[in-house]
Amino acid sequence: MEKNYSLDHVDAVAKEIVESVTSKTIFLYGVMGVGKTTLIKSLVKCLGSTDEVSSPTFSIVNEYEAGEQLIYHFDLYRINDLEEAFNFGIEDYLYTDNWVIVEWPELIEQIAPERFDRIDIALNDDNSRTLKLNFKPELT
């Protein structure tokens, strides 16, 4: 799936993503300020949570409730290496039946679950975004 959108339409894009993903694990890629956290706010809302969503830049992970399911939102920007991720138990989160949405997942790609979805977001010259959703891409 490839989608061009403005931030005014992020809720509709989130709904399309939830209907299109093949797993509950989403790795989100994009440069700083492209709108990853904004998209996650809409995804969490679309999944049925009324929790306040914020970036877990310093806490590493935020947990949201959506009915009887949990949503784990990771921001791994400040993680230096895979060992640091293991120290806070990243694999325990990745291999649950809960939703796991990870910003800056590059350091944990090698321990990714067998099934996950990858979203790449790019900022366009007109301030719109281009989103590409791929199922379990080949990692290089």
Give 105-129 pLDDT, tens digit per residue. 999 999 999 889 999 999 999 999 9
Number of domain units in the chain: 1
Radius of gyration of the chain (CA): 14
Which residues make Cβ contacts (< 8 Å) with residue 2, sequence separation at least 6? Answer: 130, 131, 132, 133
CATH number at 31 reads 3.40.50.300
**79 within domain boundaries:** yes
Asked if residue 81 is part of any domain, the answer here is yes
Q: Which domain holds residue 53?
A: 2-135
Helices (H), 47-102: 82-87, 90-94
For residue 102, tell me if it sits in a domain.
Answer: yes
35-80 per-position pLDDT tens digit = 999 999 999 999 999 999 998 888 999 999 999 999 999 999 999 9
pTM reported for the whole predicted model: 0.92
With beta carbons less than 8 A apart as the criterion, state whether 118 and 30 touch.
no
How far from 72 is each of 3, 30, 68, 93, CA to CA, in Å? 24, 19, 13, 8
pLDDT bin (cut points 50, 70, 90) of residue 140 is very low
Residue of 3, 41, 4, 35 whose CA lies nearest to 133: 3
| pLDDT the model gives residue 50 | 95
Residue 90 in any domain: the answer is yes
| Both structure tokens of 129 | 């975004």
